[in-house]
Amino acid sequence: MRGWMTGAAMAAAAALAAGRAEASIEGPSATAFTAVETAHIAAAPDRVFAVLIEPARWWSSDHSYSGDAANFHLDARAGGCWCETLPNGGSAEHLRVVNVVPGKMLRLTGALGPLQTMPVQGVLTVSLTPAGGGTDVKLTYALIGPAGLGDLAGPVDNVLGQEVARLKATAESAR
């Protein structure tokens, strides 16, 4: 994946991580971990959800195969694809939608980025809860796979933290 965790992306993720409400890695082992990112977004759940299901608006181009987040699209229904259009007629599936509750929750399965090259199973859940005149967002990405997967917990958590910060900034500016 183009620049999925380049030095610049790692630095940006670290800088953004400082502004996050909370990040954690749960149950790390050699073959599994769960990355959890939370943030409070000063926007209503319906607005946050509308932004969430348009990853081209908030996901970083640095974490794409094409180098341009504008190529992302998400079919927000069970069986739908979070996919990316690639040059010369190519495409990439990032995640598959398994559960949608508009304004409240989006659940997808699959392996993001370089995890696609490994025998990994993942479940990514984004929960939205009204709170304090805005929305509390909790992103949980549970992964299981081969020995050594646990070594990727930190980098995966950093990328997800960067993306949650981008979701927050985009939803708050979409007034």
The percentage of the chain sitting over the pLDDT mark of 70, rounded to a whole number, equals 87
For the segment 62-81, the average pLDDT, to the nearest whole number, is: 97
- Check pLDDT > 60 for residue 3: no
**CA dihedral sign of residues 150, 21, 60, 101:** positive
The pTM assigned to this predicted structure is: 0.87
Split into its structural domains, the chain has a count of 1
Closest CA to 63 of 175, 173, 158: 158
Model pLDDT for residues 73-84, shown as the tens digit of each residue? 999 999 999 999
Find the angle CA(146)-CA(25)-CA(160) to the nearest 5 degrees: 90
> Is there a contact between 168 and 58 (Cβ–Cβ < 8 Å)?
no
Name which of 16-30, 65-79, 90-104, 106-120 the model is least confident about: 16-30
Give the CATH number, domain containing residue 77: 3.30.530.20
Burial 152-165 (b: 16+ CB within 10 A, else e): bbebbbbbbbbbbb
Report which residue type is found at 45: P
Identify the DSSP state of 106: E
What average pLDDT does range 21-33 have in this prediction? 89
Buried b (16+ CB within 10 A) or exposed e, 69-80: bebbbbebeeeb
Residue 136 falls inside a structural domain:
yes
Domain contains 47: yes
Cα–Cα distance for residue pair 157/16, rounded to 1 Å? 12
64 located within any domain: yes
Range of the domain at 84: 7-173
pLDDT (0 to 100) of residue 22: 75
Q: Please, what sign has the CA dihedral across residues 93, 145, 13, 39?
A: positive
From the list 155, 166, 135, the residue with the least C-alpha distance to 19 is 166
The verdict on residue 1 lying in a domain is no
Question: Which stretches of 91-131 are DSSP H helices?
Answer: none
pLDDT above 90 covers a percentage of the chain that reads: 84
Q: How confident is the model at residue 136 (pLDDT cuts 50, 70, 90)?
A: very high
Residue 2 lies in a domain: no
In a domain, 61, yes or no: yes
pLDDT at 175: 61
